[in-house]
Amino acid sequence: EVQLVESGGIEVQPGGSLRLSCAASGFTFRTYTMHWVRQPPGKGLEWVSLITGHGRLTAYADSVRGRFAISRDNSKNSLYLRLDSLTPEDTGFYYCAKEHDTGWPTFDSWGPGTLVTVSS
Amino acid sequence: SSELTQDPAVSVALGQTVRITCQGDSLKNYYASWYQQKPGQAPVLIIYGETNRPSGIPDRFSGSRSGNTASLTVTGAQAEDEGDYYCNSRDTSGTQVVFGGGTKLTV
């Protein structure tokens, strides 16, 4: 059974930084592109970033490019998201998502999410 | 703003059929997927590649597309189908992922 569990969400001040982690199990992690998707409380879903299985290709939403950095450690079955220069608009639940075998942008497994709050 | 447009809310009587639509130019070239999200939970994939259902998804959920509009149809809606529904696909450049704004379904 595929399991994804995010961690690292906290309350941080504007301009601050943090790193989110996603622990994966139940599938061959290194062979799948992984994504981060976020959701402000009470609002819709917004794709954030992706990283291919070998980690050589990444992509970002325009709203986070230059501030966020995605990475992975296939030896630890873990996905990461570094968030810098945070603003209140970055507040929300952050989900890691596994790409479906047919490719992106279909996400067939999601973690429960971790909450990031940016507030002074 | 999202490149995929959804109606904010739709309602359906118990046992009746409802269609939720997702409109966007990128859908002429890229498949849509659909997700169901209930309060306090992560989204769940219910349709991929426009028309395919993952295992475990009831067959009352179906997907289709016409031109630049993808549709999710719930045939014989049940009370447990209440929730938010999101479509997603690639953007028109093909380099990023986009989600529709979501449709709240009330049964």
Nearest chain B Cα to A57, which residue?
A: B95
Nearest chain B Cα to A35, which residue?
A: B97
Contact A23, A111 (CB under 8 A): no
Mean pLDDT across the stretch B14-39? 96
The CB density around residue B62, as the number of other CB atoms within 10 Å, is 18
- Shortest Cα distance, chain B CAs vs residue A108, angstroms: 6
Residues 55-74 of A with CB under 8 A from B: 59, 61-62
Backbone angles phi, psi at B37, to 5 degrees: -130, 125
Whether A111 and chain B come into contact, CB under 8 Å, resolves to yes
Structure confidence at residue B95 as a pLDDT band (50, 70, 90): confident
The tens digit of pLDDT for each residue in B49-78 reads 989 999 999 999 999 999 999 999 999 999
